[in-house]
């Protein structure tokens, strides 16, 4: 059986390697490694807001972490601590996400990816968590990961992967305020939304932590398994 093909959204940033110091399409290698080790074939998708036709060739979509989403997309003014918006990334990823959900493709959202899921389901975001929770535990410093427990709803997709309690890493200053039609299935002790999913679809899950950073295999394994099932379903229907 061929490996399931999983698209991973990437972004444009300045990068330096070999003789180059230039704009580049970039992605943290941990996402590719996580998909590969779980038995999938990773395909990196640069920002592209023309169409979502590439999804016809994919078995799943992974939305990675990264810069803040433009608050104008959920009707809010920009907070002083919110990143400068990346219009091409926001547009391209939301286009892919909306089409993937409509097609019933497995979707995994990581950090920013969870927040995109919330917006796609009609929700909104907190723009700066320290204003809400009164501490910096979810992002102690730039490039420094926090660590805290998360409580997961029994019977949820997230709990099937991790159990009802797990300890996660954390590097974010924004979080889901209103999940829209998503079901919140995980929270930190301070109430911050840490996981949300759509139980009406086979695999649509967003997590606020970073499984790609410290080699957490369980979530990638569950996601790639769902993508493999989707691939088999597609192969059977085409016969």
Is 171 annotated as catalytic?
no
In percent, how much of the chain has pLDDT > 70?
Answer: 97
Is 126 annotated as catalytic?
no
How is residue 78 annotated by DSSP? P
Assess contact for 108 and 62: CB atoms under 8 A. Answer: yes
Give the pLDDT confidence of 86-127 residue by residue, as tens digits.
999 999 999 999 999 999 999 999 999 999 999 999 999 999
Residue 232 has pLDDT above 90, yes or no: no
Say what the pLDDT of residue 88 is: 94
Q: What is the mean pLDDT of the chain?
A: 95
Helix (H, G, I), strand (E, B) or coil at 117: helix
The single residue of 111, 126, 171, 197 carrying the catalytic annotation is 111
Assess contact for 65 and 13: CB atoms under 8 A. Answer: no
DSSP for 129-145 reads HHHHHSS-TT-SBTTB-
Give the pLDDT confidence of 4-31 residue by residue, as tens digits.
999 999 999 999 999 999 999 999 999 9
pLDDT-based confidence at residue 239 (cuts at 50, 70, 90): low
Is 212 annotated as catalytic?
yes
User: What are the residues facing 20 on neighbouring strands?
Assistant: 17
Give the pLDDT confidence of 127-162 residue by residue, as tens digits.
999 998 999 999 999 999 999 999 999 999 999 999
pLDDT-based confidence at residue 46 (cuts at 50, 70, 90): very high
The single residue of 93, 173, 212, 227 carrying the catalytic annotation is 212
């Amino acid at each position: 059986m061929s490996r399931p093909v999983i698209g991973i959204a990437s972004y444009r940033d300045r990068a330096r390697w070999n003789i180059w110091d230039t704009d580049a399409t970039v992605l943290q290698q941990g996402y590719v490694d996580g998909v590969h080790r779980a038995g999938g074939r990773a395909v990196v998708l640069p920002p592209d807001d023309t169409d979502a036709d590439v999804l016809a060739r994919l078995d799943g979509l992974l939305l990675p972490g990264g810069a803040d989403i433009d608050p104008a997309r959920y009707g809010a003014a920009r907070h002083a601590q919110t990143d400068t918006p990346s219009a091409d990334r926001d547009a391209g990823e939301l286009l892919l996400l909306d089409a993937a959900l409509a097609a019933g493709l497995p979707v995994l959202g990581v950090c920013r990816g969870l927040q995109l899921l919330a917006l796609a389901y009609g929700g909104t975001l907190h723009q700066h968590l320290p204003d809400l929770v009164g501490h910096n535990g979810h992002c102690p410093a730039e490039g420094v990961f926090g660590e805290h427990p998360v409580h997961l709803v029994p019977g949820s997709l997230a709990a099937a992967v991790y159990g009802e309690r797990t300890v996660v890493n954390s590097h974010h200053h924004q979080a889901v305020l209103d999940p829209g039609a998503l079901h919140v299935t995980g929270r930190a002790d301070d109430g911050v939304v840490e996981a949300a999913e759509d139980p009406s679809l086979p695999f649509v899950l967003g997590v606020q932590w970073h499984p790609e950073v410290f080699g957490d295999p369980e979530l990638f394994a569950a996601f790639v398994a769902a993508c493999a099932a989707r691939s088999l379903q597609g192969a059977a229907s085409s016969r």
